[in-house]
Structure 1
Amino acid sequence: MSSTRKTALIAGALFVITFLTSIPAALVLYTPVLDHANYIVGAGADTRVALGAFLEVLLIVANVGSAVVLFPVLKRQNEPLALGYVTARIIESTFIAIGIVSLLAVVTLRKDVGGTGGAGTLVAVGRSLVAIHDWTFLLGPGWIVGVGNGLILGYLMYRSGLVPRGMAMLGLIGGPLIIISGTAVLFDVIQPGSAAQVIATIPEFIWELSLGIYLMVKGFKPSPILSGTTGDAGAGERSPALAVADR
């Protein structure tokens, strides 16, 4: 197995891991603390929330790992944008980490429900911490993803031809839709989790999932940047193969 094939396989696996870790946490494991205002003074489901937090820690590792693994390949196309992609993944993961800490803080306070603050105060504090999580979800996975995985990664993959260009177009379409829908939620134009926001995430969802599966199964498509030819920076240069062919 060549080094580029290994890179594609690892990157694809990390993308798939982001789905396997984020979906259970967001849609299942965090439900008790996110949907029940009195969770902090109730019986609680602390182990369930802790498992969700653990999965999201793995999500952070996969997020950053996928960008770092792809960087040596993507920088041959456009190094500043490749570095920007790594940076976007780190920023996204920072928001996720803040959300994790906020929910774990709710669990800690629930265990201390008999403290001097009283149950009424704890409910308000708990809802505040949940609100922090909700905003980090919007600004990280609900906005920065559109810039990083959508626009930047979509552009790099489209220009390099490392994956089918029709697939990469999903990122170029989905990225702006994520940004627009996240901005609409930010300014209270639409509600979080509304049908409009869900529909806007579909192209990005398909793009990231299909990218992960494609890289695992097929690897990178043949591309000049895999043979050492630079991408955008060397767009005006002739490749060695073409030079030989002209002789």
Structure 2
Amino acid sequence: MDTVPSMATPAATTTGTARTTTTVRTGGSDWTRNYARASGIFYLITFASSIAAVVYFLKPVLDDPGYVVGPGQDTRVIIGCLMDTVNALAAIGSAVAVYPVVKRQNQAMALGFVTSRMYEAAVVMIGVVSLLGVVAMRRDLGGVAGPEASALLTTGHGLVAMRDYTFLLGPNLAPVINAVLFATLLYRTRLVPRVIPLMGLAAAPLLLAPTLATILGLTEHGSIWWGPGGALIFVWELSVGLYMTFKGFKPTPLTATQ
């Protein structure tokens, strides 16, 4: 009767050893690497597409008050709209890709980051549709004259003004929310060097102030008040994108096991 417990003991020990080995192997693999790389690449795509669209491709329709009745550069503008579409989709991707990792720290904040990126993308797409509307009117009605041309100009100006406001409420206001949520998550988890999320947290109020001031008509977009916040938010997003792409996440207790 005494031999039964002694026979069961080795089996229990063997089982326990097997479980321990499995846990160590899972913890030893960097299961977060693909998530970090995907999010970082999406961040860099948003940079490339949005900057190219604003700096070059969309300038004809944004800078020429008479674009809708003039000769126009429709192909160039359409390419800019497509690049903004890529920007919107990549923005969503940057949050969705990293969600499985950061939700382990705070699921509500992680979900909030995904939602904020979706909001930003939706607002950007409203601006895209507005500019495509200008292109469509120029193609169909650009040759009119007299009162019809005046009405067309008024409509075109309204659509461009709508796009300007989407730029304020999307790519300017949303990064403030993104920085508060994502930078807080990264700061608490120590997944990246803390100086990176600290830049995002510092940039948020500096960008929020001129954004609200411009919406209220107290200043203009691109004035000197935009400098500090705009520059810091640029460096924060570029830094986190590059770090996640090429370095991944730092080992922490949060990433120890999947």
Does residue 1:110 correspond to 2:138, yes or no? yes
In the alignment, which residue of structure 1 is the partner of 2:73?
Answer: 45
**TM-superposition CA deviations, 1:179-209 (whole Å, max 9, x none):** 1121111112221111211332111100000
Does residue 1:200 correspond to 2:229, yes or no? yes
What is the aligned-residue identity percentage? 40
Q: Distance in 2 between matches of 1:222 and 1:199?
A: 32
Q: Distance in 2 between matches of 1:137 and 1:228?
A: 41
In the alignment, which residue of structure 1 is the partner of 2:251?
Answer: 222
Does residue 1:175 correspond to 2:200, yes or no? no
Does residue 1:144 correspond to 2:174, yes or no? yes
**Equivalenced residues, count:** 228
8 Å CA contact 1:96–1:137 kept in 2: the answer is: yes
Does residue 1:121 correspond to 2:155, yes or no? no
In the alignment, which residue of structure 1 is the partner of 2:21?
Answer: none
**TM-superposition CA deviations, 1:43-71 (whole Å, max 9, x none):** 00000000001111111111000100011
- The structural deviation recorded for 1:88 is 0.3
Q: Distance in 1 between matches of 2:164 and 2:228?
A: 19
Candidates 68, 71, 95, aligned match of 2:99: 71
Structure exhibiting the larger radius of gyration computed from Cα positions: 2
8 Å CA contact 1:25–1:55 kept in 2: the answer is: yes
TM-score for the superposition, normalised by structure 2? 0.85
Show structure 1 runs of 4+ deviating over 3 A: 114-117
- Gapped regions of structure 2 (runs ≥ 5): 1-28
Paired amino acid for 1:22: S
Paired amino acid for 2:186: M
8 Å CA contact 2:205–2:229 kept in 1: the answer is: no
The DSSP-based 3-state class of the residue aligned with 1:13 is: helix
**TM-superposition CA deviations, 1:10-36 (whole Å, max 9, x none):** 111111111000001111111110011
Does residue 1:191 correspond to 2:208, yes or no? no
